[in-house]
Structure 1
């Protein structure tokens, strides 16, 4: 044993002398030893919108918000409130990918004053990443997150959500002010705006508007302050400024729309098979609302697979055929399973469909709410109508199957006017039920706004053995690994929030 250590020591001593350039042979010529911020920012954008969509967004939130349904028990995290496992995945996936990536981008562009736009955009995108995490879980690692590689912080503290929100809003304000059109940007490495400083500024203020309004029930004074700052700064109002990431169909999975890929792989892969992977369909509550209001988006979102004379199944968008599956109604495949509607393969399930990150439809609805609250001197009815029209036009980005004729939009607007003479609650219900439809596929924001406002008015399910006592989940559950790996910080946060690490716990702003 002693001779082995002596030989190893000698080898180490001789290595520098006999290197003679051999070290260079061990270097990968196709790899970078230094961070390339442009590449890493692109990756941070892609990963931020591709975090566990099927389990967390479709199954957990989509089911509980009654836009998706399933007859099976295992995937019924939101349909039957039957497991909390899927809710843990977002946390586990976000930190090693998007959080770490954007933190490294910020570090790499913080020294050179000419990188001010890259730094500002990275700070804005970091807020986008973290607002989803904290909205789902409440208190989370924030100030110390993503600092393992340099500062060796491997067990980051959990910051209080009230502090996280204050800091995120300050970050947006400072980053927006720092943007400088005379300095370089990420250019084509920026998949949303191609480096446009003007559009990133609008995105920052629109995100500020979203987050400011999130405080409405917990701190109305702060909410009004941030909402008015955002409106003054300038928000996304035109179709041309909505934030979206484009994708292409091809052999590379990473180039495909992650929502379409997740839904196809997770449930709807074989339309010629009457059983889906996880027994999923579109939900009755969602389809009934679209039909009852004469909403032309029904034909954009939904199809029924009908058998043709040749025996193949074809996607039929006819309004009369569409039927949603009731949530938590079955524990085995219903005999009429094939009669329930599924996502449209020519829009929702297209691999080359864009992913809408933040739209002018949402911004106009936020402005309508601000007007109703007296925080904005615009007309609530006009903002509402602008939102409805933009929310219908946006689906044209999904191809010809998403185009809605102007006369159909006009007919819907005329049949579903804003209740300008109604009560505050009637106005809020109209705004947020519209948001529930307009933001379809952005389940995270739908879930957040339902918790903040209580709209749309959803009737909970009470499936035997559910984990919530028959109430709709209000928070995601932190993964079990946190108690093992980061125990003291995790336990402190759970204790501080006071309701346990449960689906029925609430985040700070949810009153």
Structure 2
């Protein structure tokens, strides 16, 4: 027994000694020395800006009839193919684990520190921007309980009614704008939109208030007027220097590249020959035809055809769009128009978040309604169109520059017809809005649902899910049905069926 027992006892004692030693230093040994235990608000805010501007549904470029594809799968946005409808849930799935979660963390850290009032205000303003884009796509969404899984253990957040979301977002903008204090610290260089400029953040907040206030015109005109006039009084973006834009380097990691340009380039235009576009995409004929019909100088800025591999041509007469009704590659595919690599596909170009052009078009409507007396609808329309043409130089530099003479000539023949009815003028204003806000198809989609303009003709493509009409909202992710079933069921019980034709609250 002694011969065989001692080695085992010895080994056991060594093991127990080792275990005791490990247990004694367990915390030290199992703590990552490189881990961060406290959030750095500036880092989180930068990431939230990146994520908020990158979260776009590019399929809406097709829906608003800027682009299309002969490929049924890639062409969902312009064809409404039933089999691809679940792609509409992408923004919802992306937002909550990214920008919404990140902003929750920023706000948690800075909210109670009076020296960081600007950080708190700017995070609130950016949070409204991110949430407004979400609710305008889906309607009722998790809002008041959003991103509280980690902090409060709420893993099945309730969906708030869009009416309540809008009321809170507008109040948030009001409070945040008033709390901004130029004497206090800012995010500084960590803020990639304004570099911490308090005055510009205030203009951005009131511009968002103007946008969201106008959303209410069909459901609560009184509140719409109240918020629109408050926004105008507060001061909205009217100068090119104040445009809210997200800057990109265009090199290195993908996060440093304009997300729209990167997506379009990788999905369709990487070959740069006009013929082997992977997903069969081109500009849609509706968009190109309108630009040609109105002799719009932006045509050569946004559109090119390839004369040979890598050789682009912006000649006005050569631009030609592709019909959205095609199901196979047309014989003239290689000679059709597609986005200009020097502007729309430029990786280092900024992503315009809110422009002076948008402010002016909204002011034109406000003037028509009698809510704004600072300028006439015609003056606002002209200012909006001019700003929209100038902003291509912000995007593409020399390649995007449109001369003052070109702008004035365009307005001479495409000015607002003030002799027309209010509805006819609304048609002109928001058709020009459609041209001028490109490529922000998501904002145009919201404006289209509210105003009915531009008066686009739907594509009744075989196998579409809408019965030949343009859809009104996006679908919730399937994961919500499985993991948040009770809240999901309450939302659709209140709002209506979870399909693309159910109208959200303000879309009447």
TM-score above 0.5, yes or no: yes
Query: 1:313 Cα shift?
Result: 4.1
Scaled by the length of structure 1, the TM-score of the pair is: 0.94
- Which secondary structure state, in structure 2, belongs to the residue aligned with residue 509 of structure 1? coil
User: Is the 2:274–2:335 contact (alpha carbons within 8 Å) kept by the matching residues of 1?
Assistant: no
Checking the alignment, whether the CA contact within 8 Å between 2:366 and 2:372 is kept in structure 1 is yes
Which SS does the other structure have where 1:84 is aligned?
helix
Alignment partner of 1:356: what SS?
strand
Please list the CA deviations of residues 208-258 of structure 1 after superposition, one character each: whole Å capped at 9, or x if unmatched.
Answer: 000000001111001000000000011111110000011112222111111
Q: 2:391 aligns with which of 376, 385, 394?
A: 394
Contact 2:274 2:305 in 1 (8 A): no
Aligned partner of 1:326 in structure 2 is: 323
Quote the offset at 1:85 in angstroms: 2.0
- Does structure 2 retain, via aligned residues, the 8 Å contact 1:63–1:76? yes
Q: How many Å apart are 1:13 and its aligned residue?
A: 7.9
Aligned residue runs from structure 1 range 360-399, under 5 A? 360-377=356-373, 378-397=375-394, 398-399=396-397
SS in 2 for 1:345: coil
1:78–1:473 Cα contact (<8 Å) kept:
no
Distance 2:67 2:27 in 1: 60
In the alignment, is residue 65 of structure 1 matched against residue 61 of structure 2? no
Q: 1:22 to 1:268 in 2, by over 3 A?
A: same
- Verify: 1:14 aligned to 2:20, yes or no: yes
2:412 is matched with 414
Residue 508 (structure 1) aligned with residue 486 (structure 2)? no
Aligned ranges for residues 401-440 of structure 1 at < 5 Å? 401-440=399-438
1:476 — aligned with what? Answer: 474
Please point out which of 27, 45, 63 is paired with 2:32: 27
- Cα deviation, 1:449-501, whole Å, max 9, x if unaligned, reads 00000000000111111100001011001111100000010011011112x11
Name whichever structure is richer in helix by fraction.
Answer: 2
User: What is the match of residue 8 of structure 2?
Assistant: none
Displacement of 1:14 in angstroms is: 3.0
Deviations 1:296-335 (A, max 9, x none): 111111001112xxxx3411000000001111x2111111
Quick one: which of 342, 355, 363 aligns to 1:359? 355
CA distance in 1, matches of 2:274, 2:367: 49
TM-score normalized with structure 2 length: 0.94
Secondary structure at the residue paired with 2:78?
A: coil
Q: Distance in 2 between matches of 1:11 and 1:355?
A: 61
On the 8 A contact 2:274/2:333 being kept in 1, the answer is no
Output the aligned Cα RMSD: 1.8
Deviation string, structure 1 residues 391-423 (Cα, Å, up to 9, x no partner): 000010122110011111111011111111210
* Structure 2 unaligned regions, length at least 5: 1-11
Distance 1:298 1:28, change over 3 A: farther
Unaligned runs of 5+ residues in structure 1 are 1-5
Superimposed CA distance per residue, residues 94-114 of structure 1 (whole angstroms, 9 cap, x where no aligned partner): 111011001110001012111
1:462 matched to which residue of 2?
A: 460
Residues in 2 aligned to 1:443 and 1:275: alpha-carbon distance in whole angstroms: 25
Count of aligned pairs:
492
Matches within 5 A, 1:295-310: 295-307=296-308
